[in-house]
Amino acid sequence: MQIIDNKALLLKVRDPKRITTVIPKSKELDSGEVLVKWGLEEAQILNNLRYKNVPSPIQTQYDWPGLYPPFDHQKTTAAFLTLHRKAFCFNEQGTGKTGSVIWAADYLMNIGAIKRVLVLCPLSIMQSAWQDDIFKFAIHRTCVIAHSHSREKRIKAVNSNSDFVICNFDGLEIIKDEVLDKFDLIVIDEANTYKNPQTKRWKTLNKIVTPSTWLWMLTGTPAAQSPVDAYGLARMVNPSAVPKFVGGFRDMVMQRITQFKWVPRARSEDIVHQVLQPAIRFSKEDCLDLPDVTHVFRETPLSKQQEKYYEQLRKQMTTTAAGEAITTVNMAANLNKLLQLSCGAVYSDSGEVVAFDCSERVRALKEVISEASHKVLVFAPFKHVIHQISEELTKEGITNEIINGEVPASKRTSIFAKFQDTTDPQVLVIQPQAASHGVTLHAANVIVWWGPITSIETYLQANARVHRAGQRNPVTVVHLQGSSVEKRIYKMLDEKVDIHSRVIDLYKSLLD
């Protein structure tokens, strides 16, 4: 297979007439080769005819716009997606699959194959992963987030004619009638949320996906908990590969041991692989051009309860500061109260703990853990929050252990050894100061910051528990943020600014 002047493909095949029959203007040459006009439609036909390694025109006919050049695996992923109207992308978390999707969608818009894209994703990454990346990789495209307490505002976003409309999963139910026939391409990020076809969420999506709709489903961990989880995904992308009802598929991949216990059959992995096609997969280990550490930010909006008291506390700080000098110590204490509130638990002057609803942050943490290919460290700056996190993970059946100042040194050593050398625990929930020096925890390759800390040294040392000699996988550091104080401190940590020396400027900016 040879590319001729970026406009034609020269193919050496056994049956030239098979190609000349289905591709107009293709020409059989005396040598037995076939000259085919090289466009997306022709590439898709050849791909459907099972010709291997058919290149997508995006690879040489697209200028890959944006602030950063694509990695090789991102180009390959984008090319794969353009060749498949419905497909899976199973690239691991942190490999830049959103960029691949944006470039592929932009190319399809350029050639007129699609007009508009609907992105369905968790609330926590609507802005930080999707809106921000569209700005980075396709700044010439318009984008709007369809998320509001008002149904009318959501509908307005859908009807805005923006190239990309981003909506959270459950928000689709609110605007399902408005999106019908308005989007050529639907992208599902963290697609495992559609594994159960009995849910309202799955049924709503199924109503708006037609045979002509482009549908790309993204997840780094397909069917991670059970082979049966593949059924809902396959029904969306490759329905002919699975039985009409989930019970039939369960019998294919699971064996009943007792009345209530089922175990995977010997060939269940092969069956799951067959039904979850067409698919592309790059792990971090495959992506040799990836940076050693990728920093990711997830938006976790404060609950109404948190918002109310956050603003009350900020106004109280403003009133206190008016007309009088506030010491740096008092500034740091006030900032710490805002951070505690953002994280979900405030300590009163008497030492009592007041807990707040932080369900969005809990949800985002669980999403990150579910997408992780290896173990996870969760750094949380406050003791009470650490226990809250552990309880939430335990409810979900996620094995975890706590490391904080209350855990004696001998027990810490035992927990660290179990984490490094055995299957469980899957997650360590750690107070940063309790494991910021001298500990190797590279069984994990994902770090989640539940909230920021104000010490740049502790922040860097904590991240170094995973990113150190012996780590075989690229590392992803995820920052959960929902308030302005968190965003400002994360920015200072990222820029390696000494926060303690800049506390006055930070304090003033928050009050303004």
Residues 6+ apart with CB under 8 A from 69: none
132 vs 143: CA distance, rounded Å: 10
pLDDT at position 328: 56
Q: Are strands 27-28 and 164-168 parallel, antiparallel or unpaired?
A: unpaired
- Give bridge partners of residue 400 from the DSSP assignment: 427
Q: Please say whether the beta carbons of 431 and 378 come within 8 A.
A: no
Count CB-CB contacts under 10 A for residue 90.
18
CA dihedral sign, ordered 140, 87, 216, 293: negative
pLDDT tens readout for residues 141-185? 999 999 887 889 999 999 998 999 999 998 999 999 999 889 999
- First-to-last alpha carbon distance for the chain, in angstroms, is 63
Helices 328-343 and 484-494, interaxial angle, to 10°? Answer: 110
Q: Please say whether the beta carbons of 164 and 156 come within 8 A.
A: no
- The pTM for the full model equals 0.75
Helices (H) and strands (E) counted in the chain, each on its own, are 20, 21
What does 404-425 look like in DSSP terms, one character per residue?
Answer: STTS-HHHHHHHHHHHHHSS--
443 is written with which tokens? 């069984």
Residues 6+ apart with CB under 8 A from 192: 219, 221, 222, 224, 229, 233, 370
Q: Are strands 185-189 and 254-256 parallel, antiparallel or unpaired?
A: unpaired
pLDDT at position 238: 95
Q: Please say whether the beta carbons of 89 and 77 come within 8 A.
A: yes
Give rounded-to-5 percent helix, strand, coil for the chain.
Answer: 45, 15, 40
pLDDT at position 464: 85
By the 10 Å C-beta count (0-12 exposed, 13-18 middle, 19+ buried), 283 is classed as middle
Q: Are strands 427-430 and 375-379 parallel, antiparallel or unpaired?
A: parallel
| pLDDT < 70 stretches in the chain | 288-291, 319-329, 349, 436-438, 469, 512
Q: Which domains does the chain have, with CATH numbers?
A: 2-48 (no CATH), 58-286 (3.40.50.10810), 293-300+356-511 (3.40.50.300)
Q: Please say whether the beta carbons of 79 and 59 come within 8 A.
A: yes
